[in-house]
Homo-oligomer: A and B are copies of this chain.
Amino acid sequence: MNKIVTIGREFGSGGRELGRRLAEVLGFDYYDKEILTEIAKKTELSEEYVKQVVECRPHSLYPITVAHSFSVGYNVGFNQAQAVYAAQSDIITELAAKSNCVIIGRCADYILKDRNPLRIFVYADVESKLARCKARNDGESLSDRQLQRQMKAVDKTRAAYYSFYTGLAWGDKQHYDLMINTSGVDLKNLAADLAGFVNK
């Protein structure tokens, strides 16, 4: 069976970079935004819309809103969100069957649970996340305070999305094999160390 690494991560923790570097060290395939492109193809929705559904619209995923939405005619949006998740599940399952790989986010840890992936969660302290965001220019014109608010909002969305589809708490250690604090850590070295965990 292929070796699969899934990476959940707090915004700004460097989880994505760590995953990319780990895939490089291991010679594994790496899937991140590529998955959105595939979902768009499969569902015939625009990539931009798919991105909105999976990253920016947690409110349409909450049962309480869904219940309301039936009466105000939003159920099309909800059905599309479900279709996007179904497509995502199929695509992730296909990718995992194809080769050894590292997959970022997208509930891949849950979708692939029967394939026994190494489930990693990456986090860091606020200062370190702010520094990483600034270094990669994510919030060029934002103040620390604004950036921090954005970080919180993104993580809240990720948590809501994850919890809605898996019924589990995002970032709760019980659902991961390894939780890594990247505060002040060099991601290149970390990726090299981490490779040992996968290649056993």
Which of A48-56, A86-94, A175-183 has 4 or more CB atoms under 8 Å from chain B?
A: A175-183
A125 on the B face (CB < 8 A): yes
Main secondary structure of the interface of A (DSSP, over half): mixed
With A193-B196, A197-B193 as known contacts, state yes or no: A181 contacts B181, CB within 8 Å.
Answer: no
Q: How far is the CA of A125 from the CA of B177 in the complex (A)?
A: 11
A46 on the B face (CB < 8 A): no
Query: A177 contacts which chain B residues (CB < 8 A)?
Result: 180-181, 183, 185
Q: Scan A153-173; emit 1 where CB is below 8 A from any B CB, else 0.
A: 000000000000000000101
Q: Scan A187-200; emit 1 where CB is below 8 A from any B CB, else 0.
A: 00100110011001
Q: How far is the CA of A177 from the CA of B124 in the complex (A)?
A: 9
A123 on the B face (CB < 8 A): yes
As for how many copies of this chain the complex holds, the number is 2
Query: A196 contacts which chain B residues (CB < 8 A)?
Result: 192-193, 196
A141 on the B face (CB < 8 A): no
How far does the Cβ of A179 sit from chain B's closest Cβ, in whole Å? 4
Q: Which of B174, B178, B192 is the one whose CB lies under 8 Å from A180?
A: B178
Query: A200 contacts which chain B residues (CB < 8 A)?
Result: 189, 193
* CB <8 Å contact, B181 and A178: yes
Chain B residue nearest to A123 (CB atoms) is: B173
* CB <8 Å contact, A173 and B174: no
Q: How far is the CA of A183 from the CA of B119 in the complex (A)?
A: 12
How far does the Cβ of A114 sit from chain B's closest Cβ, in whole Å? 14
Q: How far is the CA of A176 from the CA of B179 in the complex (A)?
A: 9
Instruction: Give me 16 other A-B pairs in contact (C-beta within 8 A), A176-B179, A177-B180, A193-B197 excluded.
Output: A123-B174, A125-B174, A171-B173, A173-B173, A173-B179, A173-B181, A176-B181, A177-B185, A178-B178, A178-B179, A178-B181, A179-B179, A189-B200, A192-B196, A193-B196, A196-B196
A-B complex: 6 closest residue pairs judged by Cβ atoms = A179-B179, A193-B196, A177-B181, A193-B197, A196-B196, A173-B179
